[in-house]
Structure 1
Amino acid sequence: MKVLLYAKNRQVVLKSGVGRAMVMQEESLRRNGASVTMDPSDSYDIVHINTIFPSDYRMAKRAKRQGKKVVYHAHSTEEDFRNSFIGSNVISPLFRKWITKCYKTGDLILTPTEYSKSLLKRYGIDNEIEAISNGVDTNLFQKNEAARILFRRKYGFGAEEKLIMSVGLYFERKGILDFVSLAEQMPEYQFLWFGYTPDSQIPKKVREAVHKKLPNLHFMGYLSKEELQMAYSSCDLFFFPSYEETEGIVVLEALASEIPVLLRTIPVYDDWLINGKDVYKGTNLKDFREKIPEILNGTLPDLTQQGRKCAEERDVMCQAKKLYHFYEKLNADRERESEAREVCLKQNCHKNMELS
C-alpha cells in the first residue's frame, strides 16, 4: 500500500495550521514505516488531500476514475473562513458550497475534532467522516529553560518580564483585535504575536490594530517551528482569544510546551479541554482582563502538567497510527472492489463468448 500526500499547493499554506498539519502527516507516517510519495505521477493506492484549490478537486476526481481511494482532510469550514481575509464574509456561502463539493469526493473525510465533524454533517455531507487530531510533536514542543534564556536575550526581553504570546494569521477571527486592546489596557505585560498576513489581504480595522504603536506590543512575524518552540518556552502565558477553530494546532503546541493557556470559551474545546482543569477560559475582554494577572501571579492553580497530558494524548505518533488504520481499511475496500470488477469482467467475457 502506497499513499500519495498530494502537495501541489503546499507552499501556499505552509505558514498556516494546514501547512503544519501536512508536514506532521508526512513526518509521522514515514516514522511509522508507511510507504509515502508526493509525486502524482508515481504509483499509489490512496491519495490524501489537505487543501481545497481547484487542482485538488481535479486530483481527487482523477484518482476516483483510476480506481484509487481518496482521503480528503477537512481543515476548513465556512465558520472559520468568516472574519479572515477582505471580503470573506461576503463570499462565505460560496466558500461553503465549494468545500462541500471538494469534500464529497472523499471516500473518507478526516477532520480534526468532533465539533468540526458536526459542522460537516450540517452541510449535508453523508460520506464517512472521522475525527482525528492534527497532532503535535511532543518531542519538539516541550519545556526548555535554556531556550527561554536564549530567546529573551535574542529579542531583548528581561528575565523577569512577563511575556504573553499568541500565534496566528492577522485575522479578526483569531481575536487579534482583543489581543491589541488588552495590550493597551495592560502596559505592565509584554504582548507578542507570532505570524503574519500582508496588509493587502486584511480589513482596515485589523491593519490599524497591527500597526498600533505600543511599547509593549510586538508583532514578531513568522518563525520556523524550532524558533517557535523557543518562543513557547520563553513566554509566561499563551493567550489565544480565537472566536472559531477546527482544532487549534498552536494550542496543542502551547500545551506540550507546558505554558499556561488561556482560551476563549468556544464549542471546539468543549469535549477535550476543561476550564480550570486543563486550561483557563474566558468569554470576553473583562474575563481575560481579570484572569491574565491571576494566572501570571500564581493566584490561580498551575495547570501546565495536566495540559501536557492533553498534548501527549494527541501526539503525532498516536495520530499516525490512527491514520494508518484508516488507510489500511480503505485499501482493503479498494482491493475488494478491484477483485469484484475483475470477476465481473470475466463473467461478461464468458457471456460474450457464449453468444458468439
Structure 2
Amino acid sequence: MNVAVFTDNDFDKVNGVTTTLTAALQFAPPDVRMRVYTAAGIGEESPHYLALRSLGVPIPFYAEMRMYVPRLRRYLAHARADRVDLVHLTTPGPIGLAGLWVAERLGVPLVGSFHTDLAAYTHLLSGSPRLGALMREYMRWPYGRCAQVLAPSDATRRLLEGARGEGARVRVWPRGVDADLFAPARRSERLRERWHVSPARPALLYVGRVSREKGLDLLPLIQQALHSARLEHRFIVVGQGPLLPELQRRMPDAVFTGVLSRPAVAEAFASADLFVFPSRTDTAGNVVLEAQASGLPVVVSGDGGPCENMRDGETGVVCRGEGSEAWADAVGRLVADRLRRRRMGVAARAYAESRRWQEALQPLYRTYRELVAVRGHAVASASLEVAPGGRT
C-alpha cells in the first residue's frame, strides 16, 4: 500500500513529530510504502519526502515555527502519481488540511495522529483561556473527519474522546525509542568535565524546546530550593526557545548548550545523572524514553503523557504536585541519593529496551492495513452491485 503522510513540521528541526515519522519511515515493513508530504525544510533530498516549498508565515506565539500556504493541486497530482491508498495527517495546520482535501478528492481513508496539544499551548502562550478553547474547537474539525485517530497516550486518548464523543475511533499508538543511539555507553567523562559536574555534583538535564508551555518556569525555583538545602548540582539545558534569555538570567550557574545534533544529544543524555521534565502539556514526551534508554532516572509530571512512558518509583518519580515545593522535593531526594539514582538508571535502561521503535510502530502499520482492507472490501462490493447481474 502507498501512504501519503501530510505534516506542517520542519524536518530540518528535531521534535517529537519528526522523530516519530523518521522512525516510521525507517522501520516500515515491505507492504507499507510511506512518503512525507510537506512544505517545510527536510534537511536533505530523499524519495521518501515531497517538499513543495511555498510562502510561509510565523505562527503566533510560536515565532520559530511557520505556517505554509499549501500547493493543493500539486499535492493532488503527486498523490495520484504515487497511487496513494491512504492519507495520514499529523498536524491540523494548512498542510494537514491539504492532506484531508487530497484524501477526499481521491476517495481514500484518512488517518489522523495527535502529537501536540495545541489548545493547551495556545492557552499558556497567549494567556487567553478563550483562545485555547477556540483552538480546541477548531481541532475537532480535521480529526473528526478521520476514519481513525491515533493518540500517543491514554491521557491524550481521554482528551480526544471527550472532545470528539466518539471513543471507538480513537486508539493508542505509544511512542518508541532508538535504544542503540540513546545508550549508557555514550557517556563522556570529557563532557562532564566541561560541565564541571562529578559524583558529588550531579548533572540535572533538560532536553527540549525552551518555552513556557514546557513548565520551565519551575527550573529556577527548583535550583534555588536545592541550593537552600545545600544539595550540590548543576542544571544542563539542551535546546532553544523564547524562554532561554530569561532562564539564562535567572540560572547563571546552569549550562545552556543551545540546539545539538542527535549524536550530541545522545552524548548529553548519557553523561547526565538525572532527567527533569516538568511539562504538563506534552502528549507523549519522546525525550523521557530517550533519557531512560541512556540510563537516566526521570522526574516527570503526573499530568499529560510522559508519566505513561516510565515506571513510577522504579525508573523515576512522578511528581503529583504542580508547585515548585513538590518538584524541589522530588528532585532533591534523588540528588541526595546516589545509590537510588543508580538503581533507577539500570531499571530505566531495561524498561527502554522494551520500548524500541520496531515494536512501538506496529499499531500504526496495523491501522493502515485495516483501513485499506476495509476500503478494498467496500470497493469490491460496489463493483459487484453495478456489474450486470450483480444485484440480488
TM-score under structure 1 normalisation?
0.85
**Could you tell me whether the CA contact under 8 Å between 1:166 and 1:238 is conserved in 2?**
yes
**% same residue:** 21
Which residue of 267, 275, 280 corresponds with 1:238? Answer: 275
Please point out which of 265, 288, 302 is paired with 2:327: 288
Most deviating of 268-277 and 56-65: 268-277
Q: Is contact 1:84-1:171 (8 Å) kept?
A: no
Q: SS of the residue aligned with 1:246?
A: coil
Alpha carbons of structure 1 residues 115 and 214: separation in structure 2 relative to 1, 3 Å: closer
Q: What's the TM-score, normalizing by structure 2?
A: 0.78
Q: Would the aligned equivalents of 2:2 and 2:85 in 1 still touch at CA under 8 Å? A: yes
When residues 62 and 79 of structure 1 are mapped into structure 2, their CA distance, relative to the original with a 3 A threshold, is closer
CA distance in 1, matches of 2:389, 2:213: 57
Please say if residues 119 and 133 of structure 2, whose CA atoms lie closer than 8 Å, have aligned partners that are also in contact: no
Residue 17 of structure 1 aligns with an amino acid whose one-letter code is G
TM alignment of 1:149-188, pairs within 5 A: 149-152=189-192, 155-160=194-199, 161-187=201-227, 188=232
For residue 113 of structure 1, the aligned residue among 144, 153, 168 is 153
2:240 aligned partner: 196
User: Which stretches in structure 1 are left out of the alignment for 5+ residues?
Assistant: 200-205, 351-356
- Give the aligned partner of residue 24 of structure 1: 23
**How many residues are matched?**
340
- Would you say the 8 A contact 2:197–2:203 is kept in 1? no
Task: Report the 3-state secondary structure (helix = DSSP H, G, I; strand = E; otherwise coil) of the residue aligned with 2:300.
Answer: strand
Give the root-mean-square deviation of aligned CA atoms: 2.8
Letter in 1 for 2:172: A
Paired position in structure 2 for 1:57: 97
Give secondary structure in 2 for the equivalent of 1:165.
strand
Letter in 1 for 2:271: S
Distance 1:246 1:64, change over 3 A: same
Match of 2:115 in 1: 75
Shift of 1:144: 1.8
Any conservation in 2 of the 1:294–1:300 contact (CA below 8 Å)?
no
Does residue 212 (structure 1) correspond to residue 256 (structure 2)? The answer is no
The letter of the residue matching 2:2 is: K
Q: CA deviation at 1:348?
A: 9.9
> Does the 8 A contact of 1:184 with 1:214 survive in 2?
no
What secondary structure, in the 3-state scheme, does the structure 1 residue paired with 2:312 have? coil
3-state SS, counterpart of residue 178 of structure 2: coil
Partner residue in 1 for 2:4: 4
Contact 2:220 2:251 (C-alpha < 8 Å) held by counterparts: no
User: Aligned match of 1:311 in 329, 352, 359?
Assistant: 352
Distance 1:244 1:299 in 2: 31
Find the aligned partners of 1:50 and 1:182 in 2 and give their Cα distance: 35
Q: Greater relative contact order (Cα 8 A, min sep 6): structure 1 or 2?
A: 1
- Residue-by-residue CA offset, 1:206-252 (whole Å, 9 max, x unaligned): 46632415332233222222111111001011011112321111111
Give SS of 1:212's match: helix
Q: Distance in 2 between matches of 1:348 and 1:50?
A: 43
| Cα distance in 2 between the residues matched to 1:270 and 1:231 | 22
The equivalent residue for 1:37 is 35
Stretch deviating more after TM superposition (241-250 or 295-304): 295-304
Shift of 1:159: 4.6
Q: Deviations over 1:279-332 (max 9, x none)?
A: 212223223323334323326462223322332332110022232222111111
In structure 2, distance between residues paired with 1:342 and 1:98: 37
Is residue 47 of structure 1 aligned with residue 87 of structure 2? yes
Secondary structure, in 3 states, of the residue corresponding to 2:183? coil
Equivalents in 1 of 2:303, 2:380: separation in Å? 47
Aligned partners of 1:343 and 1:88: how far apart in 2? 55
The residue aligned with 1:354 is none
Residue number in structure 1 paired with 2:46: none
Residue of structure 2 in register with 1:131 after alignment: 172
Match of 1:186, SS state, is helix
> 1:189 is aligned with what amino acid?
H
Distance apart, 1:171 and its partner CA: 2.7
1:273 and 1:143 map into 2 onto residues whose CA distance is 17
Give the Cα–Cα distance (whole angstroms) in 1 for the partners of residues 4 and 147 of structure 2: 15
Question: 1:336 corresponds to which residue?
Answer: 377
Matched residue type, 1:295:
L
Aligned to 2:185: 144
More displaced stretch, 277-286 vs 10-19: 10-19
Alignment CA distance shift 1:97-1:291 (3 Å): closer
Task: Report the CA distance shift for 1:141/1:168 in structure 2 as closer, same or farther (over 3 A).
Answer: same
Q: Specify whether residues 172 and 225 from structure 1 end up closer, same or farther in structure 2 by C-alpha distance, changes over 3 A only.
A: same
